[in-house]
Amino acid sequence: MKKQNPNNKLTFNKVAVAELNDTQLQDVKGGNSTLLPSTVISIIIMTLE
């Protein structure tokens, strides 16, 4: 969900990013293995913290 940010940057709810599973990633053509989606999600979560 988009939130208003005084720095004019788009912020994401961490839960919305972390709740994607392998099946959902395949549905949006976002993953080709079980390792890659998990790695990408982990990097995104670490970046947001």
pLDDT tens for the chain, 49 residues: list them: 556 656 766 666 666 556 777 777 777 765 555 666 677 778 888 888 6
Count up the domains in the chain and report the number. 1
The reply to whether 9 falls in a domain is no
Residue 19: the pLDDT is: 72
**pTM for this structure?**
0.28
The reply to whether 20 falls in a domain is yes
Range of 18's domain? Answer: 14-48
Distance CA 35, CA 38 (A): 5
Question: Are residues 25 and 37 in contact, defined by beta-carbon separation less than 8 angstroms?
Answer: yes
The reply to whether 1 falls in a domain is no
- What are residue 42's phi and psi, to 5 degrees? -60, -40
The reply to whether 22 falls in a domain is yes
